[in-house]
């Protein structure tokens, strides 16, 4: 895997979300991702960044353009030092929420991107990594 | 503070969302709209999202809330102009916007609201007629 471009953004306030989404759009446009795939990736990113703000009062996101097996894509890594997720399997279920939301964030984001990885240690934080390839598969 | 303008047109309220909504702005809009429905006695709310490129679960929930709250206050809500990419994404996300009427564009949305208003008026008339019958 080759990383071609890399950027890091701190997300600490709600107002950071829109500039962050624009940055994700910039990265996806740069590799020529189609509008539908861009929309899917940005929506997934929006869900994940919202989770980070809500449950961990913020964190940081690493944005990368990567190349692997002749495929180009955008990889986003969301890192927070929040309370962590005690039951990841439960959190990945549709309709499950410990907050007062619809509970679509994590499972929905997973459906929208090509690759999704969640690692969480209670008390230490959560890291979510997503990859969306240029052609969406 | 930044606000999304709400226009009154006859019995309807019109909102065009032309910027990417952040959470507080969306919540303010929800609040303003419900207050406007109450103050003006509007019978319909039309929300144009044709320039909105991202609708996530939060934004979807706000649209659903506006529709449910308006309905309780006797006004129907129509969301118009959704971009195809947004529609595809919403369904995959698992958000089906239940209880929210949708139309392809503002014109069709107005038609839909007018039809709904017409149906309701007819219903009201029927009730009055029933009343008359009873008096006879």
**In chain A, alpha helices (H):** 17-30, 35-56, 88-91, 105-112
Q: Mind telling me how many Å the CA of A121 is from chain B's nearest CA?
A: 26
DSSP 3-state of B98: coil
Contact yes or no for B57 and A108 at CB 8 A: yes
Retrieve residue B76's tokens: 């129907």
- DSSP assignment of B46-65: EEE-TT-----HHHHHHHHH
pLDDT averaged over chain A?
93
At B119 the pLDDT is 78
Distance separating alpha carbons of residues B80 and B54, to the nearest angstrom: 14
At B134 the pLDDT is 54
At B124 the pLDDT is 64
Q: What order of strands is seen across the sheet that includes strand B101-103?
A: B6-9, B12-16, B44-48, B76-80, B101-103
Of the candidates A14, A15, A112, the beta carbon closest to that of B93 is on A112
Retrieve residue A62's tokens: 């690493």
Residues of B in contact with A18 (CB under 8 A): 20, 22
Task: Identify the domain containing residue A85 by its residue range.
Answer: 2-133
Using one digit for the tens of pLDDT, what is the confidence trace for A87-115? 898 889 888 888 767 777 899 999 999 99
At B108 the pLDDT is 96
Contact yes or no for B22 and A14 at CB 8 A: yes
Q: What is the residue extent of each domain of chain B? A: 6-135
Which residue bears the tokens 């014109």?
A: B107
Contact yes or no for A104 and B57 at CB 8 A: yes
Residue A68's closest CA among A135, A16, A133, A9?
Answer: A133
At A66 the pLDDT is 97
CATH no. for B6-135: 3.30.750.24
Tell me how many domains chain A contains.
Answer: 1
Retrieve residue B87's tokens: 């529609």
At B79 the pLDDT is 97
Span A12-27, mean pLDDT? 94
Contact yes or no for A112 and B24 at CB 8 A: no
Q: Going residue by residue through chain B, which has 136 residues, state the pLDDT in tens, using 9 for 90 and above.
A: 788 999 999 999 999 998 888 888 999 999 999 999 999 999 999 999 999 999 999 899 999 999 999 999 999 999 999 999 999 999 999 988 888 999 999 999 999 999 988 877 676 666 555 555 555 5
Supply the ipTM of this predicted assembly: 0.88
- For the domain that residue A128 is a member of, what is the CATH number? 3.30.565.10
Q: For the whole model, what pTM was predicted? A: 0.88
At B24 the pLDDT is 87
**What's the DSSP call for residue A13?**
S
Using one digit for the tens of pLDDT, what is the confidence trace for A34-65? 999 999 999 999 999 999 999 999 999 999 99
Total residues found in chain A within this entry: 137
């Amino acid at each position: 895997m080759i990383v071609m471009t890399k950027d890091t953004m701190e997300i600490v306030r709600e107002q950071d979300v829109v500039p962050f989404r624009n940055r994700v759009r910039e990265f996806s446009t740069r590799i020529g991702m189609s509008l539908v795939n861009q929309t899917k990736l940005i929506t997934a990113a929006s869900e994940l960044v919202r989770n980070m703000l809500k449950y961990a009062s913020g964190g940081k996101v690493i944005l990368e353009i990567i190349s692997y097996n002749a495929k180009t894509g955008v990889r986003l890594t969301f890192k927070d030092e929040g309370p962590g997720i005690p039951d990841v399997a439960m959190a990945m279920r549709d309709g499950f929420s410990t907050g007062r939301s619809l509970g679509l964030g994590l499972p929905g984001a997973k459906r929208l991107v090509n690759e999704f990885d969640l690692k969480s240690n209670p008390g230490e934080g959560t890291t979510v990594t997503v990859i969306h390839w240029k052609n969406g598969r | 503070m930044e606000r999304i303008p709400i226009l009154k047109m006859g019995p309807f309220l019109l909102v065009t969302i032309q910027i990417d909504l952040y959470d507080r702005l969306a919540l303010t809009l929800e609040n303003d709209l419900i207050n406007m429905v109450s103050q003006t006695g509007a019978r319909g709310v039309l929300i144009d999202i044709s320039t909105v490129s991202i609708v996530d679960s939060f934004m979807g929930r706000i649209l659903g809330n506006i529709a449910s709250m308006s309905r309780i206050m006797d006004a129907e809500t129509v969301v118009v102009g959704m971009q195809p990419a947004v529609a595809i994404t919403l369904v995959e996300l698992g958000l089906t916007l239940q209880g929210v009427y949708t139309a392809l564009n503002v014109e069709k949305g107005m038609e839909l609201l007018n039809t709904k208003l017409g149906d309701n008026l007819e219903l009201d008339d029927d009730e009055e007629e029933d009343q008359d019958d009873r008096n006879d």
